[in-house]
Amino acid sequence: PNIADAILRKLELIKVSSSRVLAVISLDGGMVRTIVLEVQSEVPESRLQKVTSLLNERLAGLRLSEIRESIKERVAEYTDEEVVNRLAVMKDRIFAARPEADKLHIGMTQEIFTHPEYEQHENLRGIIEILEDENIIFHILETSEQDEPLSIRVGSENRESRLKDYSLITARYQFGAVKGTVGVVGPKRMQYSRLIPLVDFMAKLISNKLTS
């Protein structure tokens, strides 16, 4: 999911050891992200509470994209505090639109190779290159987020030129400001009557599960 527009509800700092502080970032929609900050000197509990209050005062209610772009300015006078400085330095990782821990899930790729279109090596090589490059898949899914909630693109209708010989069905899921996309890529003669409602159902199921 892309969480650039997710809003920070609360940030908590929890002392784990003398050299480690756990940052718990609570976002709208009930999503929570955690990250361990390594510190060189022990931070007293009382100081940690003050820093937590300061950060919530300056950052709570902002989108992650806003925090990432402006955190250094918002906490500039407090960067002598090691925990604050660590958050500012690691902003691109901590407040990333797509956390490093997020996974791109690609499944059932073996089904593609059962279609006669891919008996020719050139066609097979093309689809393998697409499926093995996560950057291409991320780009395809991100551009699909600009489409209708349920989108069907066939052949040359795809924005990605490497998909001109394929069809792409995508659907958006959402909880709060957090958005994501599920989809199916396959031959242009795929079973649309079966796959379109399936993709739509999966997106709605994910949305319902995340918001319940």
What pLDDT is stored for residue 210 in this prediction?
67
Residue 7 DSSP code:
B
State pLDDT tens for residues 184-200. 888 888 888 888 999 99
- Topology adopted by domain 109-211: Beta-Lactamase (3.30.450)
State pLDDT tens for residues 138-179. 777 777 666 678 888 888 888 777 788 888 888 888 777 677
Exposure string of 77-92, with b = 16+ CB inside 10 Å and e = fewer, is ebeebbbbbbbbeebe
In the block, tokens 């505090």 appear at 81
- Topology adopted by domain 8-94: Enolase-like; domain 1 (3.30.390)
State pLDDT tens for residues 97-151. 665 445 455 554 545 555 565 555 455 556 666 766 667 777 777 776 666 788 8
Here the tokens at position 137 are 């898949």
What pLDDT is stored for residue 132 in this prediction?
64
pTM confidence score: 0.51
In the block, tokens 């599960």 appear at 209
In the block, tokens 């959402």 appear at 174
- Give me the residue spans of the domains in the chain: 8-94, 109-211
Count the helices and strands in the chain (H runs, E runs): 8, 6
